[in-house]
Amino acid sequence: MVEQNKNPFKELEASLREAPPEMRKKVMNDIAAAKLIMDMASLFSINLGSALRKLFKTLGDN
C-alpha cells in the first residue's frame, strides 16, 4: 500500500544536478552558432524568392 503513494516524478526531480560550467558554456555556444546559421539561411531563402521574381520579370521585359 505504501508503494502506491510514492510519486516517481518527485524522485526524478530530486536527482537533478547543475551542469558543469564548461559544459554549459559549450552548449550555449553551440546554440548561438545554430541560431546564427538559421538566421543566415532564413535571410537568404526569404530574399531568394523575391530576387527570382524580379529577375524573371526583367528578363520577360527584354
Confirm whether 24 is domain-assigned.
Answer: yes
36 part of a folded domain? yes
Residue 39: CA atoms inside 13 Å, Cβ hemisphere, count? 6
pTM of the model: 0.51
Q: Has residue 37 been placed in a domain?
A: yes
Q: Is 6 helix (H, G, I), strand (E, B) or coil?
A: coil
Q: Is the pLDDT of residue 2 over 80?
A: no
Has residue 57 been placed in a domain?
A: yes
Q: Is residue 35 part of a domain?
A: yes
Q: Quick check: is 29 in a domain?
A: yes
Q: Is residue 60 scored above 70 in pLDDT?
A: no
| Residue 15 placed within a domain | no
Domain annotation covers residue 13: no
Cell numbers describing residue 42: 532564413
Cell 541560431 identifies what position? 35
User: Tell me: the pLDDT tens digits for 16-41?
Assistant: 788 899 999 999 999 999 999 998 88
Percentage, residues of the chain above pLDDT 90: 29
Give the structural domain span for 54.
Answer: 20-61
Count structural domains, the chain: 1
> CA of 34: how far to CAs of 37, 40, 41, 50, 54, in Å?
5, 10, 11, 25, 31
What stretch of H or E contains 12? helix 8-14
pLDDT confidence of residue 3: 60
